[in-house]
Amino acid sequence: MKPVKLATTFIDPSVRMRECQTGQQCEILAATTMEYSTLGDFSYIGEYCTVADAAIGKFTAIANQVRIGAPNHPMSRPAQHRITYCPEYYSPHAERDHAFFARRRAATVIIGNDVWIGHGAIVLPGVTIGDGAVIAAGAVVSKDVAAYTVVGGVPAKVIRSRFAPETAQQLQQIAWWNWPLDTIIEHLADFQSENIEAFCAKWQA
């Protein structure tokens, strides 16, 4: 039997992680930083990515140089510089604004299953991206993205839907990403077919 590349989760030694959880057979490549986030089974993250305060689903593909949960500065304050929330960097007599960071942490990015995020895309805090969505390379996503929708541009706008609404709904009901790996491999020919209607007809409960 030939060896399997991702028999277990692989995290490059150069990756920096803080309070994260990864699922089954994930992959995180070089020079990526990930904090306060979860990564679902079989999902992978490319090189030079930054992921913060995110919950990422299963079978999601994230290309190189993607930024997820890129934090905002406090524009409503008299000063938006970090001296207002990290004053301890500049003075031993000042304390960090913990409430500010708690609000940042609460603005979680939710990314569904089977999502593809293209090279260099940016997903801002608090955004939800539905199952099966596609984020084009270089997009800046500031608003929620519906399931099975393709978006691109700055700011990101809808380009098209991947499938008809009823097909997208059927795929979410099938939820193949929750199947055991052996079941997916056994029926791999179904996944390699581009006849989406036949797939849904076969597997819809």
Q: Where are the domains of the chain?
A: 10-69+107-162, 163-205
* Catalytic position from the list 73, 81, 119, 187: 81
- The region that residue 13 occupies, defined by phi over 0 for left and psi between -120 and 50 for alpha, beta otherwise, is alpha
pLDDT score, position 202: 97
Under DSSP, the state recorded for 145 is: B
Q: Flag whether pLDDT at 205 surpasses 80.
A: no
Given this model, what pLDDT does residue 3 score?
80
- 4: confidence class by pLDDT, cuts 50, 70, 90: confident
pTM: 0.95
* pLDDT computed for residue 121 by the predictor: 99
Residue-wise pLDDT for 56-79, tens only, equals 999 999 999 999 997 889 999 999
List, for residues 147-161, the tens digit of each pLDDT value: 999 999 999 999 999
Residue among 131, 78, 129, 86 at smallest CA distance from 104: 86
- For domain 10-69+107-162, the CATH class is mainly beta
**CB-CB contact of 32 with 49 (8 Å):** yes
Assess whether pLDDT exceeds 80 at residue 2: no
In this prediction, residue 70 carries a pLDDT of: 79
Binning the chain into helix, strand and coil, the percentages to the nearest 5 are 25, 25, 55
119 is annotated as an active-site residue: no
Average pLDDT rounded to a whole number, residues 84-106: 96
